[in-house]
Structure 1
């Protein structure tokens, strides 16, 4: 068995072992991490020896932690990271380099069509009918996009949304409401085979799939970090958030919205964000939590997107792609049958 796991923001962990009569035998952990003292590597290997092959990541990490000698220091990796590598070895896990990637960045379409394209393109990746894809969104109107399980009335002020020209739509992934103002957000979707995140917990997969964008943001001077469970942040404040959906076709949809520019007062008029439960001071604090990319980089939005596309291309060898006519037609039909219906929007009133 051979498993690899690149720790988001950290080092590569590699593990090789045999499985004999249902237990791990002859394990060897390696990687470009730092570990002191040298003898601690033997502690880790001995901790894995004889563990049931069916052990979950929590059990594996606990065994490693218990076996490490006092004073051992792990830099760039952790017991949890080793456990993920072991679990990935036990499955049909793949890596970024196993795939041919495409980047799609086309002209603006309505918000509901973006949501339908997410479902259609992710499904096709899972079915093997499309290459794994990174797609950047362009907006032809502003919208509040609420999570799959959110209540419309609890998240959106209808008068404020109407006054500022924001449509309200519901996506298929969970998470919180996002105020998407045309021209002032950077939104992208990743459509990946589930095998890419095989052996990872949901939390691990968020960090893993967000790692490339942190490199891209750092390339334009943003000190970006991942904040569990699903935030991208900097010392100046939150930049954006991710949401994820596992599809039955065998694909993972992972999409991210980052604030390029933000009108805090408008946000407070459009989103409820629990205003009834917050003091005036709390509302002001909530508005200041988000620090947009424009203030941190000074770059035009288009240049920010180009830098992110270049980072992804440099890392994974991606090539330009398009949405095929039949994919677009399927998405348009899905808008009519699902995303534009009152039943879908009001499924959680």
Structure 2
């Protein structure tokens, strides 16, 4: 069994092992990390040898920590990272390069149709009828997208939304409200098999699925990092937020995960504050005094056009994992249009948490 895990802010850890009689055997840990003294790597292997295969991540990490020689120094490596890679091996997790990725990058769509497309495409991946997909959104109109569990009245000022022609929709994933405008926002979705994050905690899955875009931003000269639970941040502020929804397969199997991200290329902060109701308590726990200062746009940080930023992101993904141009199928689009009308445009759904 083979498992890999890129430690957020650190290095790649690889674990190869066998399971015999319900226990780990022939464990070998490797990677591009730094570790002193040399014999520490043998101590890590020995700590995992013979461990019951059902052992959880925390218990594995504790065994590794206890086995390290005095004065061990790990750079780009943690006991938790080794434990996570071990669990991924045991879970038979897949890797990014195991798939033939498809890119969908089409004409602007309405906010409700975007919500529906996310659901339909991810269910198709869960059913095995579509390959893992990266979909880049284009917005036909400004919108506020509230999280699945947010209160509509607490998040949106209806007069402000009407004043600016902003459509309010509710997505199927949790998390906070997003204010988007066509030229100011970069939004994308990853619809991936659940096996891609097998062996990872819910929180770790965010970091794992955000890793490629952090590298893409790095290629553009932006030092960005994953900020738990669901933000992408830089030294000058937040630039993106992610959300997820997990869907089981049609036969009750592991299914697929929808991981979608909204990035701020530019922002009209006054308009945003006129439409969103951002409470003082929410701002205080972010350590900032003003909502206007929470988000720092990519336009200012890169000096690139929005289209150029997207092109570089797509190219970065393609260089790392491969990416074939694709499209939304006729049946997928028909189902999405029906869902956009019957579900995502309905008051019953949008105001399900009043």
Category of TM-score, reference length = shorter chain: over 0.9
User: C-alpha separation between the residues in 1 aligned to 2:126 and 2:174?
Assistant: 19
C-alpha distance 267-283 of structure 1, shift in aligned 2 (>3 A): farther
> What's the TM-score once normalised by structure 1's chain length?
0.96
Segments of 5+ residues of structure 2 without an aligned counterpart are 250-254
CA drift at 1:283 = 8.0
The answer to whether the aligner puts 1:292 opposite 2:297 as a matched pair is yes
Measure, in 2, the Cα distance between the counterparts of 1:52 and 1:43. 18
Name the residue aligned to 1:207: 207
- Counterpart Cα distance in 2 of 1:107 and 1:284: 38
RMSD of equivalent CA atoms:
1.6
Cα deviation per residue 1:227-280 (whole Å; 9 max; x = unaligned)? 11111111110001000111012010000000011122222211111148879x
Which whole-Å CA distance do the structure 2 matches of 1:172 and 1:35 have between them? 43
How big is each residue's C-alpha offset from its partner over 1:274-293, in whole Å with a ceiling of 9 and x where there is no partner? Answer: 148879xx985232011000
User: Are 2:312 and 1:307 aligned?
Assistant: yes
Aligned runs of 1:1-349 on 2, under 5 Å? 1-249=1-249, 250-275=255-280, 284-349=289-354
Does the 8 Å CA contact 2:3/2:92 hold for their aligned counterparts? no
Distance between the aligned counterparts of 2:204 and 2:36, measured in 1? Answer: 25
- Measure how far apart 1:157 and its partner are: 1.2
Report the alpha carbon displacement of residue 2 of structure 1 after superposing the two structures with TM.
2.2
For each residue in 1:58-103, what CA deviation from the matched residue of structure 2 results, as whole angstroms up to 9, or x when unmatched? 1111211122122211112211111111111112311111100011
**Separation in 1 of the partners of 2:266 and 2:194?**
33
Partner Cα distance (1:174, 1:226) in 2: 18
Q: Contact 1:9 / 1:211 at 8 angstroms: preserved in 2?
A: no
| Counterpart contact for 1:102–1:319, Cα < 8 Å | yes
Kept in 2: contact 1:6–1:13 (CA 8 A) = yes
Q: Distance in 2 between matches of 1:98 and 1:5?
A: 14
- Contact 1:58-1:83 at 8 Å conserved across structures: yes
Distance (whole Å) between structure 1 residues aligned to residue 172 and residue 163 of structure 2: 26
Q: Give 5+ residue unaligned stretches, structure 1.
A: none
Distance 2:105 2:143 in 1: 19
Secondary structure of 1:232's aligned partner: strand
Q: CA deviation at 1:25?
A: 2.4
Deviation for aligned residue 1:8: 3.7
- Following superposition, the deviation at residue 322 of structure 1 comes to 0.8
Give the stretch that moved more between structures: 211-220 or 1-10.
1-10
Q: What residue is the counterpart of 2:252 in the other structure?
A: none
Question: How much does 1:52 deviate?
Answer: 1.4
Distance 1:339 1:160 in 2: 21
User: For 1:233, what is the secondary structure of its paired residue?
Assistant: strand
Q: Distance in 2 between matches of 1:74 and 1:16?
A: 20
The one-character-per-residue Cα deviations of 1:13-62 (angstroms, maximum 9, x if unpaired) are 11122223222223221112111111111221121122211011111112
- Paired residues of 2:155 and 2:278 also in contact (CA < 8 A): yes
Counterpart secondary structure, 2:290? helix
Three-state SS of the structure 2 residue aligned to 1:311 is helix
Residue 138 of structure 1 and its aligned partner are, at CA, apart by 0.2
Contact 1:275 1:283 in 2 (8 A): no
Offset at residue 159 of structure 1 (A): 1.3
Alignment: residue pair count: 347
